[in-house]
Amino acid sequence: MRLIDIYNKLNENELLIEGLEKPEDIKVLDITYDSREVKAGTLFFCKGVHFKKEYLENSINDGAIAYVSEKNYEVNRYGLIVKDIRKAMLVIAAYFFDYPDRKLKTIGVTGTKGKTTTVFYLKSIFDEFSRRKGKMPAGLISGISIYDGLNDVTATLTTPEAIPLYRHIANAVKSGLEYMIIEVSSQALKYDRINCVEFDASIFLNIGNDHVSAIEHPTFEDYFSSKLLLAKQSKFFVFNEDMDHHDKVREYVESNHVDYMDYSISGDTDIKTIEINQENLHSRFKTKFGDSIEEYSLIQPGKYNVENAMATILVSKHFGLDYDTIKTGLENAVVEGRDEVFVSDDNQVVAWVSYAHNGISFKKSYEVIHENFPNHKIISIFGGSGDKAVDRLFDVSTFGAKNSDYILLVPDDPGDKPYQEVVSMMADIIKPYGVEFEIFEQRIDGIKRAFEMIDGPTVLFVAGKGNDKYNYINGEYVTIEGDVDVTKLCLEKYNKK
């Protein structure tokens, strides 16, 4: 691609600052916003509130042939000065990679809770479909991992920035993948990371107040409207009739003339459950779809996971998948670290490793624990983010205090706030409930302490990180041992004793 082509595309989208001269006919071999990825022939994007001129200078030394920025840095390279760098990245990424989302089937999933679980349910179903057809597995872009046919890597963001996002989709096309399943965050929708993707189908799971803060979304209306943007760029839309504000979701999709279906555990919807049974922390449920009664099972507990599964059933049926393929895919679906339950040999210890990290997920997790283990003591191990909504700290601390016999507070992405400040806020919320608690500097120490406290039937609710291998501290991702690995090791030692 030529630099003049990119100039014209930016101009066409009214992103260029007026008065720029057209660039020379220079070939662009790659695009990036990460100076560490620059090689000869790269167009470099200057992005981020913490961007420094030295990043651009480093990229020039490594072969960048031009740059895109909201500011003229007056360096020895041609600059495309734009009104909005995020929108420019989105428009150019889609254009540079030749709109790869239009060359396969894309499925998006958003919601306050359950996005990762749902995309893994979908991947398991479409992998089963692909296996039976002798085709490549489905692609995946999630908060846990990314698979695009060429790369199978750990993720850090729920939804990548526009350039890596489109690169992964382009890789999927090159690799011959037929489906790409994408976890879509409200931040990605609000800040133009994903807004050019044309989704063949998408899902809206639920909505809460989790991301409402000065750091993320200033109001609930801003958060909700950001989520709704996914419907506008979808050909087929599925939403939960049991979610808060479902009437506004319906009104939005109908006003935008989007083809849709809804689901519910109890309501009169396109698909609804007519029976749910929890057996050995597995979920078995029957659904009614049209005149058909179908039975499914999951290896994860909780009605909220049944809700997630129902959404995937509607999407799978939309693409023409048969009942047996969907049923087998759900039965085989594993979501590492999201809801993994381990039981000791003497049946005294139930260690539940969960990714629950907000009010909605804590509430529903404790409901399942009380339902399945009414006579067990509950020891909760969790923390709170310093860079997310203040309501999240309040909610997880409150639900933890109301439902636990003992609490062990541990770091969970304190971010730019000192950990002691975050944990002090949580302690102040917990104290009025009279629940004893301890504070630890490392997650691993909190989990080990929980096993030392076992005296009779006990549920250890290890919440927040699942099997993530990092903690976000002072602007850096610090490597840690995942909760799943630590819990399994502690359980092995307990069993030996």
pLDDT exceeds cutoff 90 at 336? no
Q: What is the pLDDT of residues 275-309, one digit of tens each?
A: 999 877 789 999 999 999 999 999 988 899 999 99
Split at pLDDT 50, 70, 90, the class of 210 is low
Share of the chain above pLDDT 70, in %: 98
Split at pLDDT 50, 70, 90, the class of 215 is low
Query: Across residues 337-363, what is the average pLDDT?
Result: 89
Query: Across residues 61-70, what is the average pLDDT?
Result: 96
pLDDT of residue 214: 64
pLDDT exceeds cutoff 80 at 310? yes
pLDDT of residue 24: 82
pLDDT exceeds cutoff 70 at 363? yes
pLDDT of residue 217: 79
pLDDT of residue 474: 81
pLDDT of residue 390: 65
pLDDT of residue 263: 96
pLDDT of residue 432: 97
Mean pLDDT of the chain: 93
Q: What is the pLDDT of residues 129-161, one digit of tens each?
A: 999 999 999 999 998 899 999 999 888 777 899
Q: 8-17, 80-89, 206-215, 323-332 — which is least confidently predicted?
A: 206-215
pLDDT exceeds cutoff 80 at 194? yes
Split at pLDDT 50, 70, 90, the class of 266 is confident
pLDDT of residue 213: 67
Query: Across residues 462-469, what is the average pLDDT?
Result: 89
Split at pLDDT 50, 70, 90, the class of 40 is very high
Split at pLDDT 50, 70, 90, the class of 267 is confident
Domains of the chain: 3-90 (3.40.1390.10), 100-331 (3.40.1190.10), 339-496 (3.90.190.20)
pLDDT exceeds cutoff 80 at 33? yes
pLDDT of residue 392: 82
pLDDT exceeds cutoff 90 at 496? yes
| More confident: 85 or 371 | 85
Split at pLDDT 50, 70, 90, the class of 389 is low
Q: 80-84, 217-221, 460-464 — which is least confidently predicted?
A: 217-221
Separation between Cα atoms, residue 214 and residue 199, nearest integer Å? 30
pLDDT of residue 388: 67
